[in-house]
Chains A and B, each alone.
Chain A
Amino acid sequence: MDASRTPFPTLIMTGRLFLLLATLAIFHAAYSTYEHLSHLKALGRPGGSLPQSIILETLVGLVLGILGASLNAPELKEITWASEMQKHKIDEMDSRLGFASFVTRGRNILSSSSKSSAKEIQ
């Protein structure tokens, strides 16, 4: 699936296009129904059923709208701790700062004046 950061065309853009088309379809179907019913009322036989094309357009608008809304949503993230830990190192999440030791044995091992004392310790 396309990530939301890659340039045109992306899944989110498809979603927005579908939402736009669905909105247009719904409004067009609404206006068509209004016109059709006014037409029927003018002819003196109100209460007729809608033409098949309007019903189809409405349902297509509905399905396309829901599809577009679903595609428009950003990518979901997994909710378990285990999946989050796949992306981080342990030090980022639980650094245990109380156990951090800033005093190392480099002082004894690496300095020249204490090389003899280090040998004695061993």
Chain B
Amino acid sequence: MGENFLAARAHRRCQRQHIHVITRFADGRDVASTSATVMSTPTEAAAQLIYPANVQANASLTTVKFIASCFAGAAAGILGLQNWLGFALFLAATLLTSAFIHTINCRGTPVKFIQGGVLELLNPGQDNVFTFVLVWTLFYGIVHGETPLKLPPVLAVHPCSPFSVRLDTPLRASLLAS
């Protein structure tokens, strides 16, 4: 059978059924025809060329962005940054994270690994702004706060709790007293 005939047949089958047809030729070549080659929208066409299991495997990048947000929040809190300065640090940390992911994880070509390419890299991640603000307020409150750090009293005095402490030691008494 002629190659053109087989390719045309695969083409027509795609047209009818909107599927991804793989044709094997006698010399071992495998040629894929998709309805992308026929008439589907560009986004559908692009989506059909993606292997979804690997897209999920690459979700480990969300962990990287989360850890980066946590460290940025800690740094902003320790340095005592306020208002827009803190968010400027978050922006800088996001750019730094994108640069590291681009060079180390994606090895220079993010398009191969991430849907959406470089722009998706620059996205700090779902809810990571809130993570940043949370850790920022935590560290700011501890380091720069007016009151010293003390344990919540619930942990210390409840008689039945496994964490109940003896009050006769001076350290623990001071924790409650101050």
Where the two chains meet, the residues of A that have a C-beta atom closer than 8 Å to any C-beta of B are 1, 19, 22, 26, 29-30, 33-34, 37, 50, 54-55, 58-59, 61-63, 65-67, 69-74, 76-85, 90, 93-94
3 closest pairs, A vs B, by CB? A65-B71, A69-B67, A77-B54
Determine whether the beta carbon of B96 is less than 8 Å from that of A80.
no
Contact partner of A70 (CB less than 8 A), chosen from B30, B58, B100, is B100
Q: Which residue of B lies closest to A1 (CB)?
A: B107
Interface of A, helix, strand, loop or mixed by DSSP: helix
CB distance from A71 to the nearest CB of B (A): 6
Bound Cα distance A62, B74 (Å): 8
Residues of B within 8 A of A (CB): 20, 22, 24, 30, 32, 48-51, 54-55, 57-58, 60-61, 63-64, 67-68, 70-72, 74-75, 77-80, 93, 96-97, 100-101, 104-107, 112-115, 139, 142-144
Residues A79 and B79 in contact, CB atoms below 8 Å apart = no
What DSSP secondary structure best describes chain B's contact surface?
helix
Inter-subunit contact B96/A94 (CB<8 Å): no
User: B49 to A78, Cβ gap below 8 A?
Assistant: no
| Smallest beta-carbon distance A81→chain B, Å | 5
Give B92's nearest chain A residue, CB to CB. A62
Taking a contact as CB atoms under 8 Å apart, the answer to whether A62 and B72 are in contact is yes
CB–CB B22/A78 < 8 A: no
| CB-defined contacts of A62 to chain B, threshold 8 Å | 71-72, 74-75, 93
The chain B residue with its CB closest to the CB of A31 is: B143
Determine the chain A residues whose CB is within 8 A of the CB of B54 once the complex forms.
77-79, 84
Q: A71-B104, A80-B112 are in contact. Are A66 and B71 (CB under 8 A)?
A: yes
In the bound complex, CA of A102 to CA of B101 (Å): 50
| Contact status A30-B139, CB under 8 Å | yes
